[in-house]
Chains A and B, each alone.
Chain A
């Protein structure tokens, strides 16, 4: 069984953050209807995406990754007819999600006060970059700029180097957090019958992930900056070069016992007995020298070998895995981290399987991302009961567009 079977979601999101929200809920069995239109086409379906990702297939792959298991309808929300149909869909649904800039849904006539009137127990989550209130609520943002505004870029990078921009994960993290909020509201609704509105801010979601760094400022006035892979306490604590091209292993040592085990695995070279590495604090103080010495050892082995040698003696070591290595990794294979779908245009495409292993309600990928408007017939014909001629008329009038 699916944990969210029977839950229907109308999904007005595009790009990455929004689609991640509904993707996670689709994995749990919710029926997700993605509302698209030529007027407002998803970034990953555009020609520009093929430029950014290198090929049309790569762009389709990214879209597939974010929209697997969903349905697609084409609805032109700049027309009165389109908005009317959207409302009829909302009446048949449990959750509405959008990631427009603050205020756009209201402008379209699809704001929460209106939706609540036609579906009193609807749950609506508006996921905007800055939230729906506040002086910057209308500002435009993407993963890169939100990562910077959240405080993450400031604390990511080599010591003394420039701040690092965040990847698409800076969209998917907030998306994950928003899915959590929707699940909380779904639970509340099951208990009380009440829906609600959730104002979600993506940049705040990212800031929540550096709580202790912010607390260092609010408690001590300390502004943290970039410090590579350094830890406040642990040393050695870094990624070390291994044999091969651009291969690295991460090693972290938190106490004397682990240090002794690391030394032994390295064959107890004389330098490990030096006073400057004699205790945790000394090692922390001399970690730069330490890093060089450890690197001189790791460079002789490949990163998997180092992991195995060190894990065998209880030392935390793991390769800095590339996407290719993870796809071929025996551990990921055994845990079925990747699964494939049959895409009507691209053939077999791998996607990541859901990250949670449930014993009773396994989350799963049920199909590829939809083609543009693939489910118009099901949604407008079956769900809304519209005759075929009417659907054709709506297409001709560019309401289904």
Chain B
């Protein structure tokens, strides 16, 4: 779906050869999810799938069949890393657990990504991205600073928590790979999505344990700033340093109210955050988002804009950094994709190939790499193995 594929996309974009194994027939569930190219449902044109599987080779294989298991083991023998996101007991039921695979390839690094990990009372619980996000502690706090908490906690847009989990797994894999390069040993990695999310909210997570503070969505003293209305929508800013407040006052043209003693120091401003926001808004509504962002920044005040996906694609800054890359795919033609946040001086990320079509590399992997005879492939297909 998302977490596992994102994990291996991160590795594939850095040059690892990733062989994606999909079930014959429908393939990865992400193939059936929108957005579809031109809104036409097509397993080869899901934007979600296309984004998450760049640079990978794709084969179809039913590892529940005896022959499929055999082929899978041949692949494991040649691999450095195995990533899987099946329910905890599934690989064992298939006879493909770590202990077994380690016999075939003692150096294998096997990472499993599941909602709650391989152990513990919730390990077999089912969780879709929404449930995962709410399990991780951030959902309960989203949206923060609201007047009342009668409306439900929210997820952050899209599948963010799944991406987070994939990244967490990818880090563990690279650490294990580093260790293996030094020691020669493989190992087993258990990734719980819940824990991956908790780790991103570590500041909030321990506050109850250490200070008895249960953090909620309710307002708890308002620092000024945040999302505020402006002339053409919303603007965003925050000031952590006192000098930034001084700059803000100057940027507004030194209004009288801002010089009131009650806003004289950080504590005072924090205490009267709500009042400051009300007074600020009277000024903000005369200015546009763009104006506030760029002129505010020029004045040394941390303003920003609430960017839409269109704003991201149109951003001169991101263009100049080459954040978007154009990828040609047989079903969609050339489309722009977000690339990565890191520019390596020696090992730049490169898109060598678009996401694979379902079973696109069956012949290359099974026939050319593993040496199965060409006529065998047709039989394997007919038998539902590939």
B131 touches A318 (CB 8 A): yes
From B211, B220, B345, contact of A61 by CB (8 A): B211
Given A208-B163, A338-B209, residue A200 in contact with residue B341 (CB < 8 A): yes
A151 and B307 in contact (CB under 8 A), knowing A54-B213, A65-B206, A229-B152?
yes
- A199 interface neighbour in B139, B149, B202, B343, Cβ under 8 Å: B343
Is B175 touching A165 in the complex (CB atoms < 8 A)?
Answer: no
User: Quick check: A222 and B202 within 8 Å, CB to CB?
Assistant: no
In the bound complex, do residue A246 and residue B178 qualify as a contact, i.e. CB atoms below 8 Å apart?
A: no
Contact partners of B149 in chain A: CB under 8 A? 246
* Residue of B225, B234, B321 with highest tally of chain A CB at under 10 A: B321
Closest to A141 in B: B302
Contacting pair A250 B320 (CB below 8 A): no
Whether the pair B206, A351 counts as a contact (CB closer than 8 A) is: yes
Contact B144 A165 (CB under 8 A): yes
Q: Tell me which of B19-27, B29-37, B278-286 binds A.
A: B29-37
Please indicate the chain B residues that have their CB under 8 angstroms from the CB of A183 in the complex: 171, 174-175, 178
Report whether B199 and A352 are in contact in the complex, using a CB–CB cutoff of 8 Å.
Answer: yes
The segment out of B67-75, B235-243, B254-262, B362-370 that lies at the interface is B235-243
**A136 and B303 alpha carbons, distance in the complex (Å):** 12
Within the assembled complex, what's the spacing in Å between the Cα atoms of A212 and B52?
9
Given contacts A215-B35, A250-B139, contact A187 B317 (CB under 8 A): no
Q: Is A181 an interface residue (CB 8 A)?
A: yes
Q: Which of B36, B149, B164, B207 has the largest number of chain A CB atoms within 10 A? A: B207
Q: Is the interface of B mostly helix, strand, loop or mixed?
A: mixed
Q: Is the CB of B206 within 8 A of A358?
A: no
Other-chain residue from B37, B119, B236 in contact with A219 (beta carbon distance below 8 A): B37
A142 CA / B134 CA spacing, docked (Å): 24
Please tell me if B101 contacts chain A, counting CB pairs below 8 Å. no
- Pick the contact of B211 from A55, A231, A335 — CB < 8 Å? A55
Do B305 and A148 have beta carbons less than 8 Å apart? yes
A-facing mask of B187-221, CB < 8 A → 1, else 0? 11111100110111111111111110111110011
| Bound complex: CA A25 to CA B290 (Å) | 38
A155 touches B157 (CB 8 A): yes
Whether the Cβ atoms of B178 and A198 lie closer than 8 Å is: no
Contact B307 A148 (CB under 8 A): yes
A344 CB, min distance to chain B CBs, angstroms: 15
What's the Cα separation between A23 and B347 when bound, in Å? 24
Q: A194, B346: Cβ atoms under 8 Å?
A: yes
Whether the pair B309, A322 counts as a contact (CB closer than 8 A) is: no
Contact of A176 among B168, B225, B318 (CB under 8 A): B168
Quick check: is B288 within 8 A (CB to CB) of the other chain? no
Interface: B377 (CB within 8 A): no
Known: A177-B341, A316-B127. A156 touches B156 (CB 8 A): yes
Query: How far, in whole Å, are A154 and B306 apart by their CA atoms in the complex?
Result: 6
Residue A315 at the B interface, CB < 8 A?
A: yes
Q: Closest residue of chain A to B115, judged by CB?
A: A318
Please indicate the chain A residues that have their CB under 8 angstroms from the CB of B61 in the complex.
none
Contact at A142–B238, with CB atoms within 8 Å? yes
Given the complex, which residues of B lie within 8 Å of A168, measured CB to CB?
A: 201, 203-204
Closest B-chain residue to A166, C-beta based? B156
Count chain B CB atoms within 10 A of each CB in A210, A215, A228 and give the residue with the most.
A215
Residues of the B chain whose Cβ atoms lie less than 8 Å from the Cβ of A355: 168, 191-192, 195-196, 198-199
A269–B159 CA distance with the chains assembled, in angstroms = 32
Residues in B neighbouring A52, C-beta threshold 8 A: 223, 270
Binds B, one of A85-93, A237-245, A391-399: A237-245
| Chain B residues with CB below 8 A from A61, complex form | 206-207, 210-211
Cβ–Cβ contact B308 & A223, under 8 A: yes
Q: Cα distance A212–B307 when bound, in Å?
A: 16
Inter-chain contacts of B183 with A (CB < 8 A):
1
Q: Mark A351-382, 1 if CB is under 8 A from B, else 0.
A: 11011111111010000000000000000000
Chain A CB within 8 A of B18 CB = no
Q: Which residues from chain A contact B163 at a C-beta distance below 8 Å?
A: 208-209, 211
* A331-B116 in contact (CB<8A): yes
C-alpha spacing A66/B199, complex, angstroms: 10
Q: Tell whether, in the assembled complex, residue B164 and residue A3 are in contact, meaning their CB atoms are under 8 Å apart.
A: no
Query: Could you list 8 A-B pairs, sorted by A, with CB under 8 Å?
Result: A155-B158, A194-B346, A207-B323, A219-B36, A225-B308, A229-B152, A241-B152, A246-B149
- The 6 lowest CB-CB distance pairs between A and B, nearest first, are A155-B157, A215-B47, A145-B304, A183-B174, A360-B187, A216-B35
